[in-house]
Structure 1
Amino acid sequence: MSNEHNPYASAASPYSASVQFGTQPDADAQAAATAIKDTTTASFATDVLQESRKQPVLVDFWAPWCGPCKQLAPALEKVVRASGGKVKLVKMNIDEHPSVAGQLGIQSIPAVIAFKNGQPVDGFMGAVPETQIREFIDRVAGKGAGPQIAEALAAAAQAREAGDLQTAAGLLEAVLAEQPDNVEALGGLADLLLETGDRAGAEELLAGVPEDKKDAPAVAAVRAKIALAAQAAELGDSAELERRLAENPKDHQARFDLAMIQNALGKRTEAADNLLAIVKADRTWNDDAARAQLLQFFDAWGLMDEVTLATRRKLSSMLFS
């Protein structure tokens, strides 16, 4: 897709909105040789988050004592090297670097999480067969589209970060014209529609997601946002809830409802702090509803969102101190 055919592109745009689809030469031997590396907590942002804005990055969370990890590693590395540069593989030893796995909520290994544009988008756990690994990589990378799809998705993410929602939408629509079942584009466009107030349009787009991809993180996050918005719309006036809390700081229901409204208004930190306050005061309140709601917020905000990461640390410290 070129600017000539993209009604949303701008000649003065500070990011690339010109993306062409078509075949490209296979990755050369050097690309295959550099497709796999180890990472640390300190280098994770560079090796994974930044690199995933160029192409999908798979993170293999493993440990030396893990038998299934040793079974998975040779097959995973073989398929990655044979993928022709579709993806990169980054390996993280959770014994030496446990914090990232903890922030992502990984509870068993081996776990392989795919990142695109700085966000986790898909994954699997266990020592799966080579054919399943190949299918996973094809799904993550966009089989048949190669770097062009990734380039368009990266440009869309950059446009959105810059506040240019029209260009972002145009790029995502171009991806869907090439790959109608691309879950990252479907989720991204649905999220844009939701942000601009078109909830019905977002729901209609999500209804078309293939059944086997309905649980993909990019799609699940938008569904979570829609559910939260619907809940918040039924909660009434935040000023009245704040008045109730001023009179009785132990009114957990008022604090819970206020957190829901704050989240709907984009006040994530305030919403998280109110739910954390309930967990700290009485975790058993309403069958642990505050902690459960925080987990739903994390799904909607994204696993690597700054508020998600900060709140997860606070919650872990509170529960295990």
Structure 2
Amino acid sequence: MPGPQTPASAPAPQRPDIVDVTLQGFRTEVMEESFDRPVLVDFWAPWCGPCKQLTPRLEKIVREARGKVRLAKMNIDEHPQIAQKMGIQSVPAVVAFVQGQMADAFSGAQPESEIKAFIQRLLGPGGVDVEALLAESQALLDAGQVAVAEAGFAQILQNDPENPAALAGLARCGLAQGDSEQAKAILAQIPEKHASNPAVAAARAAFALEEKAGAVGDMALLLARVETAPHDPQARYDLAVALNASGKREAAAQELLVIVKQDRKWNDEAARKLLLEFFDSWGPTDPATRSARRQLSALLFS
């Protein structure tokens, strides 16, 4: 009679990225797992309001990491021993384990950008998704979160010191913080072979516009000049420079479009050329670029 069939080797069960951990499972789910990937332990409690804000953010970011990191959630009301041993006095608190050891920690309901930066530090250079971090840092810069954006660009440069987009981003952070000398020094580091890189072109255009803005004077005086002399192209040109420097892109473009409409060839087509500088600085997908480019085309080819 034939013996029992040996079953084919089954694939190893996939280890989940998000788990609820108990005191009994802490060694396996956290300590041993941390030898394969960083494990974030989220210490929380049902009565904690900020915990209800932080935990969904952690879950979202861990899912986006696609297996590079695990989240282990520990209810301190049910399992207080680990938190007490680590000296955790308030929640939410997150402790990261790497290679069986505590590696880093933070407390409070941190924003997504800070949590992502925290995880990237744990993963190290090999775990950095450069394109994703570039896009995120640029979005943060556009949203005015300059310090967080600067940290993102700097992290990319730690792994790739000549990354032109990251250098350009760092230069734009300097401009946003009013440090044009820092921006100038960073832009000077970028080799000319990267001059056509869109981020580099945009940063250099932004720097040139910043220098122009410093020479045109007070916004209120410029507005008064245009009101009293609406057909003075230089007044409108200077006002456009000042408006752009203050972030009023659509208004700046409209002043230049008026000049093009009134006197297209004024000062060797200076208004059209400045609009092109604006487009380079704003980027091709910016709504102000798209709108003004359509209007400029209509004027030039009408």
Note whether the superposition's TM-score is higher than 0.5.
yes
Letter in 2 for 1:278: I
Partner of 1:154: 135
Superposed displacement of residue 251, structure 1:
1.0
Partner of 1:192: 173
Matches within 5 A, 1:106-117: none
Partner of 1:235: 216
The SS at the match of 2:216 is coil
Q: Distance in 1 between matches of 2:107 and 2:162?
A: 24
Q: Distance in 2 between matches of 1:272 and 1:213?
A: 28
Partner of 1:205: 186
Find out whether 1:13 has 2:13 as its counterpart: no
Superposed displacement of residue 151, structure 1:
3.1
**What TM-score results when the alignment is normalised by the length of structure 1?**
0.56
Matches within 5 A, 1:43-62: none
Letter in 2 for 1:191: R
Q: Distance in 2 between matches of 1:9 and 1:180?
A: 32
Q: Distance in 1 between matches of 2:272 and 2:221?
A: 24
| Residues 136-188 of structure 1: per-residue CA shift (max 9 Å, x gap) | xxxxxxxxxxx722232233234435543222211211110000011111111
Partner of 2:196: 215
Q: Distance in 2 between matches of 1:310 and 1:8?
A: 44
List gaps (5 residues or longer) in structure 1: 25-146
Partner of 1:297: 278
Structure of higher CA gyration radius: 2
CA contact (8 A) 1:6 1:170 kept: no
The SS at the match of 2:268 is coil
The SS at the match of 1:202 is helix
Letter in 1 for 2:228: E
CA contact (8 A) 1:21 1:149 kept: no
| Residues 228-251 of structure 1: per-residue CA shift (max 9 Å, x gap) | 111121112333332232222111
Matches within 5 A, 1:156-171: 156-171=137-152
Q: Distance in 2 between matches of 1:159 and 1:10?
A: 21
Range 244-253 or range 303-312, more displaced: 244-253
CA contact (8 A) 2:164 2:194 kept: yes
Q: Distance in 1 between matches of 2:200 and 2:107?
A: 26
Q: Distance in 1 between matches of 2:105 and 2:261?
A: 51
Q: Which runs of 4+ in 1 moved over 4 A?
A: 2-11, 21-24
Q: Distance in 1 between matches of 2:104 and 2:137?
A: 12
Relative distance call for 1:253 and 1:174 in structure 2 (3 A) is same
Matches within 5 A, 1:21-100: 21=124
Letter in 1 for 2:224: R
Find out whether 1:264 has 2:238 as its counterpart: no
Name which of 174, 177, 187 aligns with 2:155.
174
Q: Distance in 2 between matches of 1:196 and 1:9?
A: 28
Q: Distance in 2 between matches of 1:160 and 1:177?
A: 19
CA contact (8 A) 2:174 2:182 kept: yes
Partner of 2:294: 313
In angstroms, what is the RMSD of aligned CA positions?
A: 2.8
Identity %: 41
The SS at the match of 2:129 is helix
CA contact (8 A) 1:262 1:268 kept: yes
Q: Distance in 2 between matches of 1:158 and 1:309?
A: 18
CA contact (8 A) 1:21 1:148 kept: no
Letter in 1 for 2:111: S
Range 15-24 or range 169-178, more displaced: 15-24
Letter in 2 for 1:219: V
CA contact (8 A) 2:146 2:176 kept: no
Name which of 230, 237, 254 aligns with 1:273.
254
Letter in 2 for 1:250: H
**What TM-score results when the alignment is normalised by the length of structure 2?**
0.59
Relative distance call for 1:9 and 1:260 in structure 2 (3 A) is farther
Letter in 1 for 2:217: G
Partner of 2:225: 244
CA contact (8 A) 1:224 1:296 kept: yes
| Residues 229-284 of structure 1: per-residue CA shift (max 9 Å, x gap) | 11121112333332232222111111111111111111111110000001011101
List gaps (5 residues or longer) in structure 2: 1-37, 39-94, 97-102
